[in-house]
Amino acid sequence: MSETNITLNAESERLLQYENIEIAKGLVKELEASAGRKLTYYVKTFGCQMNARDSEKIVGILEEAGYVEAESEQADFVIYNTCTVRENANNKVYGRLGNLINMKKKNPFMRIALCGCMMQEPTVVEKIKTSYRQVNLIFGTHNIYKFAELLVHCLQNDKLLVDIWDDTDKIVEDLPIKRKYSFKSGVNIMFGCNNFCSYCIVPYVRGRERSREPKDIIRECEKLVADGVTEIMLLGQNVNSYGKNLEQPVTFAELLRSINEIKGLKRIRFMTSHPKDLSDDLIRAMAECENVCPHMHLPLQSGSDRLLELMNRHYTKQQYLDIVTKLRQAIPDIAITTDIIVGFPGETEEDFQETLDVVKQVEYDNAFTFIYSKRTGTPAARMDNQVPEDVIKDRFDRLLAIVQENAAKKANLLTGKVLPVLVEQINEQDDKLVSGRLANNSLVHFPGDASMIGNIYQVRLLECKGFYYLGEVE
Ligand code: 5AD
Ligand code: SF4
């Protein structure tokens, strides 16, 4: 397919969706007239930043169609944007779905929709079709841009519609989006993943890697900044391989440098980096670009070379440690965070000690620790030496203790310093305080009011409370 063809197809798809938004508007008006009130929606997001961004796209369409936001699942359109990276995420959805269906029995206007990664698993869809027939709509990760069209189906009748695709090469630009925060936003730079880490279900449910054109990304960032956004998080499963599949390849470092030029954009973050693709040029770009935050989330998964190979990660413990050294040399104040899996099949105490050794050497600012979860269809699920639960639990607790000790130690180093904080919201416990983040992503609470939200203040960090600070404006 030529580039023009892809552009034309995506463009006609975009126009079709806008036509469907108009149809949905009319249908919502009719339903409002018979209900004698506004129709409401509730979007529940499970999982990662990708899903959070997808939910903003769904909300964008629902609000264009005329729905207003509800505080709870007592709403006329309820959608769960699901995650399936670990088994317990799936169980949570089934639990809540039962309650939703009871609510639907009392509200004839109610529609229930399910989307996201979990819906890309055929067994899940089968289970919903047989046990939760009252659901109206199931769609997956590849056709979210068709949501306006799917919504129209839902508004026209109360039957189940299932629309799941195996993959897509299409990226449809410029559909409505409603941001959760006025001053910060995620921006997708790529979709999907080609890595097939042996424990991970993501490549099966999010499809092959596709990068957006730099011009589309930059245009979106500029529009966001013009609309008051000061912080952007660039999103991709493996941002370090960004741009490799474009007709005119561009590296992630080059993209960062261009985004750093956007006037008015104060903070640039990105997620997630894969160590195997992290280039020296990216480290240079991070050091040079003043708006790129000094924070690197660099999933380790395991410190054992043997397990890293079985996990299909393509780096060794030493290569990982070398990247950390280079990052700290180039950007001395950088915060480094990670993801670690405990209990991968066949993990021995020796393997686990290698992980602890990396954790001790790197002294992470924070680490997300996960108990290995067996995902059907992945190579690791077919490995027969699963680690017993009690052994995993013991290792997990030992790991967590060291992670927390390191995090507290790292956080304490900043106590007494005056640093810029971007105010995000009124503090949830005390409305005389505001809560914001340092460039390294740490949380700070200090006296303030709602007028400060979205602005950056110089704040003295008076006291470190483990994973957050109490401070005051200088
Ligand atoms: N079990 C446990 N953790 C997993 N992750 C991905 N797949 C699994 C799994 N099967 C973790 C990885 C990844 C993070 C987003 O989730 O650490 O970096
Ligand atoms: Fe999963 Fe590995 Fe892709 Fe991350 S890089 S989404 S862990 S397969």
- The reported pLDDT for the residue numbered 10 is 84
pLDDT of residue 173: 80
Ligand 1: centre distance to CA 70 (Å) = 32
Q: What is the pLDDT of residue 356?
A: 98
52 found inside a domain: yes
Q: Would residue 171 count as lying in a domain?
A: no
Q: What is the pLDDT of residues 222-258, one digit of tens each?
A: 999 999 999 999 999 999 999 998 999 999 999 999 9
SS3 at position 181: coil
End-of-domain residue from the set 105, 130, 163: 163
pLDDT score for 90: 85
221 part of a folded domain: yes
* Contact assessment for residue 340 and residue 370, using Cβ atoms and an 8 Å cutoff: yes
Nearest to 426 by CA among 442, 450, 443: 450
Please state the atom number of ligand 2 nearest to the C-alpha of residue 272. 4
- Residue 266's pLDDT is what? 95
What pLDDT was estimated at residue 174?
Answer: 83
- Long-range contacts, stretch 247-253, CB < 8 angstroms, 24+ apart: 247/3, 250/211, 250/214, 251/279, 251/281, 251/282, 252/189, 252/279, 252/282, 253/279, 253/281, 253/282, 253/284, 253/285
Distance 235 CA to ligand 2 centre (A): 13
How confident is the model over 307-354, as pLDDT tens digits?
999 999 999 999 999 999 999 999 999 999 999 999 999 999 999 999
Pairing of strands 295-297, 267-271: unpaired
How many structural domains does the chain have? Answer: 4
Check whether 2 has a pLDDT greater than 50.
no
- Pocket, ligand 1, Cβ cutoff 6 A: 85-86, 199-200, 299, 301, 339, 341, 370, 372-373, 375
- Please compute, for residue 157, the number of CA atoms within 13 A of its CA located in the half-sphere on the CB side: 4
User: Quick check: 6 pLDDT over 50?
Assistant: no
Atom of ligand 2 minimally distant from the CA of 85: 1
Amino acid at 19: E
Residue 205: inside a domain: yes
Give the closest residue (by CA) to ligand 1 atom 17.
339
Task: Express as a percent the part of the chain with pLDDT over 90.
Answer: 92
What separation in Å is there between the alpha carbon of 472 and the centre of ligand 1? 38
Establish whether residue 380 lines the binding site of ligand 2, counting it when its CB lies within 6 angstroms of any ligand atom.
Answer: no
The answer to whether residues 424 and 396 belong to one domain is no
Q: Is 200 annotated as a binding residue?
A: yes
CA–CA distances in Å: residue 102 to residues 99, 136, 337: 5, 14, 42
Closest CA to 454 of 264, 183, 233: 183
In a domain? residue 239 = yes
Q: Would you call 363 helix, strand, or coil by DSSP?
A: coil
For residue range 168-217, list pLDDT tens digits in order: 888 888 889 999 999 999 999 999 999 999 999 999 999 999 999 999 99
**Parallel, antiparallel, or unpaired: how do β-strands 456-464 and 161-163 relate?**
unpaired
Residues 461 and 358 in one domain: no
Side by side, the strands of the sheet bearing 335-342 are 295-297, 335-342, 366-371
Closest CA to 340 of 388, 378, 298: 298
**For residue 4, what pLDDT is reported?**
40
391 and 457 together in one domain: no
The pLDDT of residue 318: 98
- Determine the length of the chain: 474
- Nearest atom in ligand 1 to the alpha carbon of residue 339 is 17
124 lies in the same domain as 222 = no
> Do residues 148 and 20 lie in contact, with contact meaning Cβ atoms separated by under 8 Å?
yes
The reply to whether 306 and 374 lie within a common domain is: yes
pLDDT band at 89 (very low <50, low <70, confident <90, very high): confident
Does a structural domain hold residue 20?
A: yes
Instruction: Outline where DSSP puts E strands in 427-467.
Output: 433-438, 443-447, 456-464
Domain-ending residue, one of 109, 131, 163: 163
Please check whether residue 170 lies inside any domain of the structure.
Answer: no
Ligand at minimal distance from the CA of 298 is 1
Q: What is the pTM of this model?
A: 0.92
What's the gap in Å between 306 CA and the centre of ligand 2? 18
Strand order in the sheet with 184-188: 184-188, 231-235, 267-271
Mean pLDDT score of the chain: 94
Mean pLDDT of 414-433: 95
Residue 3 has pLDDT above 80, yes or no: no
Does 240 sit in the ligand 2 pocket, CB within 6 Å? no
Q: 293 among the known binding-site residues?
A: no
Query: What is the CATH number for 28?
Result: 3.40.50.280
| Residue at which a domain ends, from 249, 271, 293 | 293
Distance from Cα 360 to the centre of ligand 1, integer Å: 21
Q: Residues 219, 136: one domain?
A: no
pLDDT digits 0-9 by tens, 367-387:
999 999 999 999 999 998 999
Q: Answer yes or no: do 426 and 405 share one domain.
A: no
Can you give the CATH number for the domain in which 323 is found?
A: 3.30.750.200
Contact 373, 380 (CB under 8 A): no
Q: How far apart are CA 123 and CA 412, in angstroms?
A: 48
Radius of gyration of the chain (CA): 23
Q: Is 221 annotated as a binding residue?
A: no
Residues 147-182 have pLDDT tens digits of 999 999 999 989 999 999 988 888 888 889 999 999
55 CA distance to ligand 2 middle (Å): 21
Point out the ligand 2 atom lying closest to the alpha carbon of residue 194: 3
Averaged pLDDT for residues 84-91: 88
Residues 429 and 408 in one domain: no
Atom of ligand 2 nearest to the CA of 196: 8
Instruction: Judge if 399 and 429 occupy the same domain.
Output: no
28 and 113 part of one domain: yes
CB atoms near residue 131 (< 10 Å): 12
- Which residue matches tokens 């105010």? 423
CB 471 within 8 A of CB 459: yes
Residues 6+ apart with CB under 8 A from 266: 230, 231, 291, 422, 456
pLDDT at 88: 84
The Å distance, Cα 56 to ligand 1 centre, comes to 24
Say how far apart CA 213 and CA 208 lie, in whole Å: 16
Q: 203: Cβ below 6 Å to ligand 2?
A: yes
Same domain, 402 and 440: no
pLDDT at 1 over 70: no
Instruction: Report the residue among 141, 191, 200 best suited for mutation to probe ligand 2: largest number of ligand atoms under 8 A from its CB.
Output: 200
* Residue 464 marked ligand-binding: no
For residue 8, pLDDT beyond 80: no
Domain interval for residue 284: 186-293
Residue 180: inside a domain: no
Do 231 and 336 share a domain, yes or no? no
